[in-house]
């Protein structure tokens, strides 16, 4: 009887642990690598600090190979990404980063931020993390469906006439970067649909 209770409690604990585990977009088998380093990261989306990390996942890459997936941690009310990066070389590999935007299902490259892998080192700290800036949308994709189509052009035309739809992503349509949706943005968007 006592053994049955212990077994039931153990099964319940294991099921709760499994229920809390989040499925990751990327994966890495840590046992395939000999060395690791640590990075503390913060995200900015189009220059704005990300405060809710629930919609994003961050991973490190060497070429197209995933070398680590970050976990979100919070200290003193501030969230950051804790990332262990793996390698089979003690040093020298170039590490790049990608962000997975969960609500749109898009993988976004982080441009301009790379690290050189050095075993047993730390990049950034929770109090001063390395900042990764990414564009949460694709330039020209005004409806956020992952493609640049005639629908995006129509939405930009409507917005330029003062009638933006509720699903319109203005920064994605502002292709000339002047802060307004104008005929110039529409022309640039049409060029993108023809590529």
The predicted-structure confidence for 81-94, as pLDDT tens digits, reads as follows: 999 999 999 999 99
Q: What is the largest CA-CA distance in the chain?
A: 77
Global pTM reads: 0.70
In this structure, the number of other CB atoms found within 10 A of the CB of residue 170 comes to 16
Closest C-alpha to 77, from 117, 127, 119: 127
Please, what is the average pLDDT of the chain? 85
Select from 167, 78, 166 the least CA-distant residue to 124.
78
Which pLDDT belongs to residue 1? 53
Share of the chain above pLDDT 90, in %: 41
Convert the pLDDT of each residue in 118-129 to its tens digit.
Answer: 999 999 999 899
Of residues 148 and 146, more confidently modeled: 148
User: Is the model's pLDDT at 54 over the cut of 50?
Assistant: yes
Q: Averaged over 8-26, what is the pLDDT? A: 52
Identify the three-state secondary structure at position 49: strand
- Helix extents (H) in 83-140: none
End-to-end CA distance of the chain: 71
> Cβ(61)–Cβ(107) under 8 Å?
no
pLDDT at 13: 45
Bigger pLDDT: 144 vs 189: 189
Neighbours of 91 (CB within 10 A): 13
Helices and strands per DSSP (H, E), number in the chain: 4, 11
């Amino acid at each position: 009887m006592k053994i049955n209770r212990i077994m039931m409690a153990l099964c319940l604990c294991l099921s709760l642990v499994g229920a809390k585990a989040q499925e990751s977009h990327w994966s890495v088998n840590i046992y395939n690598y000999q060395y690791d380093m640590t990075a503390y990261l913060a995200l900015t989306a189009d220059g704005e600090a990300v405060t809710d990390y629930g919609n994003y996942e961050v991973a490190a890459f060497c070429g197209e190979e995933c070398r680590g997936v970050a976990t979100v941690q919070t200290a003193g009310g501030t969230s950051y990404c804790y990332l262990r990066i793996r390698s089979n070389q003690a040093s020298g590999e170039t590490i790049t980063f990608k962000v997975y935007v969960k609500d749109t299902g898009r993988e976004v490259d982080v441009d301009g931020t790379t690290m050189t892998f050095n075993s047993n080192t730390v990049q950034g700290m929770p109090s001063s993390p390395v900042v990764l800036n990414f564009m949460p949308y694709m330039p020209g994709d005004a409806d956020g469906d992952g493609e640049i189509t005639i629908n995006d052009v129509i939405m930009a035309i409507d917005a330029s006439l003062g009638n933006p739809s509720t699903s319109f992503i203005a920064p994605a349509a502002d292709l000339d970067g002047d802060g307004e949706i104008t005929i110039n943005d529409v022309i640039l968007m049409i060029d993108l649909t023809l590529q």
